[in-house]
Amino acid sequence: MNKLILGRYFPGNSLIHQLDPRAKLLAAIGFIALLFVAINWQSYLLLIVCALIVMRMSGIAIKMYIRGVRPLIWLILFTVTLQVLFTAGGTIYLDCGPITISKYGLINGVFIFCRFVLIIFISTVVTLTTKPIDLTDGINKLLSPLRFLKVPVDDISLMLTIALRFIPNLLDETQKVMDAQRARGTTFGEGSLVEQMKKLVPIIMPLFVSSLNRAEDMADVMEVRGYQSTRPRTSFRKLAWKKQDTIAIVIMIILTGIIVVLRQLGGYYP
């Protein structure tokens, strides 16, 4: 649980740290969208190289990102396995009723694996290099046009940031509860599936109660500090769009153009 780094902030002075949160959010959204546009190995290879360069520029060791993916690797592999076993097309290597292993399924499984991992990597880059308060301001500014449609932008951005901020706290709390259950003799990962599910009940209930208590405490603190969702808010820190932010968006636009060209020239899969 303590190895999942999504939602944590690592202080630093790298070029990625210095970017405006709006630029990082727009670039991350655009990159994730490109992962669904890419349909051949040339496109995915380019996106992997770009992701590695950005991760390197963040000043955070690559092994930290890899270690953060490990808690989710089984979920990713489960999804990839379903894709491989139940997707047919191209050369058939195994045909056993509803289960089919084909060239199309294998290639699609590899692409989906890369897609999941890269989404986690890029999302983690944004959270590791952006303070929660700056992330709130960035989301607020990007959603500000929706105010004309009477959308509660301030509330939405605040909820998203709070949810992202408390991911590490929830994981740490889970680890503490599991350690307490182990001290009482509970052994996780053993027995039948039903037995393992029953062992999760003493973990889920304390976490649920703790989350409610934390939410109530935060609501009280916000009320004491005078927070009101119906009142216009001002920011102590003003976001400033800089030259490097424009360069980052231009690079993202160029990358989008290259992926579109590769999609047309490279064809659909190898």
d(CA 64, CA 142): 29
251: Cα separation from own chain's centroid: 22
d(CA 214, CA 209): 9
For residue 189, the model assigns a pLDDT of 66
For residue 224, the model assigns a pLDDT of 85
pLDDT-flagged residues of the chain (< 70): 1-7, 89-90, 97-98, 189-191, 193, 229, 232-235, 266-270
For residue 90, the model assigns a pLDDT of 67
Which of 81, 101, 73, 77 lies closest to 89, judged by CA? 101
| Burial classification of residue 34, based on how many CB atoms lie within 10 Å of its CB (0-12 exposed, 13-18 middle, 19 or more buried) | buried
First to last CA, the chain: 38
d(CA 249, CA 27): 6
pTM above 0.85, yes or no: no
For residue 270, the model assigns a pLDDT of 47
For residue 267, the model assigns a pLDDT of 58
